[in-house]
Amino acid sequence: EPEVTQTPSHQVTQMGQEVILRCVPISNHLYFYWYRQILGQKVEFLVSFYNNEISEKSEIFDDQFSVERPDGSNFTLKIRSTKLEDSAMYFCASSIRLGPNEKLFFGSGTQLSVL
Amino acid sequence: AQSVAQPEDQVNVAEGNPLTVKCTYSVSGNPYLFWYVQYPNRGLQFLLKYITGDNLVKGSYGFEAEFNKSQTSFHLKKPSALVSDSALYFCAVRGDSGTYKYIFGTGTRLKVLA
């Protein structure tokens, strides 16, 4: 089965530093998402992306966060100035379409630790 | 606003017994409902979904779920649990009223005892 690939698997950074989390969605997918999970608990929506623009974002996704699809294959999440509370597992997900055959495929995640 | 409730943090069941993991939802428009499973240090894996049609949907690994519109529920079931089913299970919903966003429940840890 095709896979969503995320790199790195672990990222440690100092508070205030910028981080970029990378994702390669499945090649013919059109809808892209970032979610995060803190301490193995609730999966929180951050942002959805379609047709080269943000379609929806949550309250968590403030001005410190941004997403890009720079080259038609990669999908990145940037956190400009990390805070301690940004420590979480970040998941990228993609879907080929919305409707009767929709299904989200998740990557294995990037564990971000902010010190 | 969309929301999902999974009232049980943990469900324990003996191997071979039937299991149920509960989920209720609130959404604008018709619901698209999903169950995902997460094994330790892994991403979420799709189990099954309800979009339209038969209220009882069957998915991977022998799991099934029943959509109940009047009770706004979508409980996950399996007739005979395996130890290997032990994992974290998430219910998710997306409303069909123009949103792209999937909302996940808080997860239920299933522990199947040998």
Q: What pLDDT sits at residue A1?
A: 76
Candidates A41, A91, A104, A110, partner chain B, best to mutate (most B CBs within 10 A): A104
Q: What pLDDT sits at residue A104?
A: 93
Long-range contacts of A98-101 (CB under 8 A, 24+ apart): A98/A31, A98/B94, A98/B100, A99/B51, A100/B51, A100/B52
Q: Which of residues 21-60 of B touch A (CB under 8 A)?
A: 32, 34, 36, 41-46, 49, 51-52
Burial of A101 (0-12, 13-18, 19+ CB in 10 A): exposed
User: What average pLDDT score do residues B78-107 get?
Assistant: 92
Q: What pLDDT sits at residue B81?
A: 98
User: What average pLDDT score do residues A40-57 get?
Assistant: 92
Q: What is the nearest CA distance from A30 to chain B, expressed in angstroms?
A: 12
For B9-65, the pLDDT digits (tens) are 999 999 999 999 999 999 988 899 999 999 988 889 999 999 988 999 999 999 999
A32-to-A13, A104, B5, B88, B111 alpha-carbon distances in Å: 25, 9, 24, 23, 32
Percent of chain B topping pLDDT 90: 82
A105 — contact with chain B (CB < 8 Å)?
Answer: yes
Please give the helix or strand (H or E) that residue A37 lies within, else none: strand A31-37
Q: What is the nearest CA distance from A100 to chain B, expressed in angstroms?
A: 6
* Residue B1 clears pLDDT 90, i.e. is over it: no
Tokens encoding A6 = 């995320």
Q: Which of B43, B52, B106 shows the shortest C-beta gap to A42?
A: B106
Q: What pLDDT sits at residue A78?
A: 97
For A66-100, the pLDDT digits (tens) are 999 988 789 999 999 999 999 999 999 999 887 77
